[in-house]
Amino acid sequence: MKKFNNLNRNRSKAHGYRFTVGRILQIVLALVFLVFIGRFLYIGISQKVAGQDLSKRTNQLYSRNEVLKATRGSIYDHNGLTIAEDSHTYTVYAILDKSSVTYDNKPMYVVNKEKTAQKLAQVLPLSESEILKYLNPKHKAYQVQFGTAGSGLTMRQRKQIEAMKLPGIRFMETASRLYPNGAFASHVVGLAQLENNEKTHQQDLVGTMGLEQYFNKQLAGKDGYREAFVDAENYQMPNSSHTYKAAKNGDDIYLTLDSQLQSYLENLMTSVQDKYKPKSLTAVVEDVKTGKILAASQRPTFDPQTKKNLNSNWRNILIQDSYEAGSVFKILSMTAAIQSGHYNPNEYYKSGSITLNGSTIHDWNVTGWGSIPMSQAFPRSSNVGMATLEQKMGNETWKEYLKKFRIGQKTNVTLPGENPGFVNIKSNLDGAVTSFGQGVTVNVMQMMQVYSALANDGQMLKPQLVEKIVSPSGKVISKFHKEKVGQPVFSKQTAQTTLKLMQDVLNPKYGTGAAYNIPGKSIAVKTGTAQIASPKGGYLSGANNYIFSVVGLTPANDPRYCVYLTMRQPQKMSDPAEKILASIFKPVMSRLISSMSTDNAPHIVTVPQLTNKKLSVARESAAKEGLTLEVIGTGQSVIRQAYAAGTKTESGNKVFVFTSGTVYCPDMRSWSKEDVTNFASSAQIPISIKGTGHKVVSQTIPKGQVINKDSKLSVTLK
């Protein structure tokens, strides 16, 4: 009985413990529940957690602020041929990791590799087997790309692939600038490159040199934006508020440049650069009746498309460098002497040397030509003759004329970083030395401005590069007009006298420019050989340590065109300077003279839409515009075309189209460099180009052989 009572007591005690523990647990749970309830009430009322605003965090999670990129305006030549344009490119890639799925388990990876390879081969220049190799990498990979064949794709190619609805196939977009002509007035046109935008945290195309930089604001346009709420798959949620502002695309700029003439000039300059290796070479062609620059270039230069040689060739020599012009500057001193009444053609002077302020000035022919008439001073390029005329004028009169010619002042041509040069005449010696182009510095465009005074009855015209600026809607915002910047020559007779003396420069008996004569053609010329200042003081010595130059105007009696060339320190001077420069001057001048006598204006046509058309239809469309279709591949439909639809080009040009399938090497002999580069870009097969010249003379792979991206194809120009 006692034992039974003890057992009951123990049970009663255990029951008491359990009751107590249960009570405690109930109280704890109640407290926890109250804490949660309190927390939820607090969050619901305050909308904050740890000081963070929950509504803002939710908005950040489901809101999307998207920058709508503006398209940068294009740059065209005066005929509407493309020089620079925006070109968004795409890189296609494939996701292989099977863990990549949507929230409802739809695959975001490549499901059927064989089908994917078959479809992609219709667009990419790769075979099915080559694509399968990429889709089956040796090592495990989350995603793969398709090499160079899968990069640089156009929007049209991207849309073609997207229409196939292949799981796991995605794209990366890259903004880019297309310069289809390669090295083509590169420092004038300039360059637009990707730069980080601190506000949007994206990359924008920004002009970094040339016209691209000067007109960056007009070309760039203005980005828009879109703000909206999206769901987990980034689709806009219904009935949600959104904000939208459309992007304003950039304006298009039409230049005064003539693409045909520019390309011709580029080839001639490259030939001289390759053969004689000058430290610098410049060339400008201008319509001096209007001030329009028709062609302009320099060496060294760079290819804005490939960026080859860019790192060491940033400076625009035409405008950012000043130099002592040498004897071409005698045009100014002779014109000033004529205008001021101090030139007497029949007066004789003693050539050879003249002493001023204890210093002796020599002619380039140190012994001189004896006592000669002043009418021969200019064609013989006599320093003593020019110094004598300057001394007759006096420094003050000479300085007034230099001011009228705007020497030492900017031309304000539409290029960044213009260097105005300087002129500083304090003594009789200073004045005499500047009369033949030493001791005074100029830039190339200043000299072009000076030469225009000989063509417009003494009125100088500002050199101009822009024909018009057009808005995206087609409205002309600003249009070219002649801009008169002074009249340093007050008499048409004065200009005619100077031009007659420039014709005498071609006189084979005593003129310095006989090498530039074109028999039967009306040309006025002045040559120049300027000494180069030494960093140690004085001037450099040596047969090649000069800036050699020539300026020519045609027709001589009433100039329409001006050609001005400079060449600094040719390192391989195997020919006389005048022969080197004449190899550029005479062909360009002959072409200009020919353009005045016959109607050589190219017939400009618009490239039709050829992509996605049957090959037979594409041929007919091209033929209607006078274009020749060059087919790459063995397919029956056009997948891509070298010139985009709407592009302006010249009738008779080739238009390359890619149809997929096997690519056979064509006979490229007689093709132009542009033809070769268009074929390479269309077929996406790299081609090495050797030599300089206008036409292909040989190729390393014979006609009819199968080629692909791994082929070592090279052509030689001559």
Q: What is the C-alpha separation between 369 and 418, in angstroms, rounded?
A: 40
Q: How many residues appear in the chain?
A: 718
Give the least confident one: 100-104, 225-229, 381-385: 225-229
pLDDT at 61 over 50: no
Question: How far apart (Å, rounded) are the C-alpha atoms in residues 118 and 32?
Answer: 62
Closest CA to 352 of 329, 380, 389: 380
Question: Bridge-partner residues for 172, per DSSP?
Answer: 91
> What percent of the chain stands above pLDDT 70?
89
Active site residues: 327
Contact (Cβ atoms closer than 8 angstroms) between residue 411 and residue 444: no
Cβ atoms of 676 and 716 within 8 Å: the answer is no
Q: Find the helix or strand (DSSP H, E) in which 401 lies.
A: helix 395-404
- Residue 24: which pLDDT band, with cuts at 50, 70 and 90? confident
Query: Are the CB atoms for 333 and 425 separated by under 8 Å?
Result: no
Angle between helices 395-404 and 383-393 (to 10 degrees): 100
How many C-beta neighbours within 10 Å does residue 606 have?
13
Highest mean pLDDT: which range of 78-92, 297-311, 578-592, 641-655: 578-592
pLDDT at 290 over 90: yes
Burial degree of 520 (CB within 10 A; 0-12, 13-18, 19+) = exposed
Which of 34-38, 249-253, 337-341, 532-536 has the weakest average pLDDT?
34-38
Rounded Cα distance between 629 and 616, Å, is 10
Terminal alpha carbon distance of the chain: 128
Do residues 429 and 359 touch, judged by C-beta distance below 8 A? Answer: yes
pLDDT tens for 159-179 read: 899 999 999 999 987 778 888
153-178 in b/e form (b: 16+ CB < 10 A) is bbeebbebbeeeebbbbeeeeebebb
Of the candidate ranges 266-275, 511-520, 608-617, the one whose mean pLDDT is the lowest:
608-617
pLDDT at 8 over 60: no
pLDDT at residue 427, as a whole number? 94
CB-CB contact of 218 with 249 (8 Å): no
Distance (Å, whole) CA 129 – CA 416: 52
pLDDT at 456 exceeding the cut of 60: yes
pLDDT computed for residue 15 by the predictor: 61
Secondary structure class of 186 (helix, strand, coil): helix
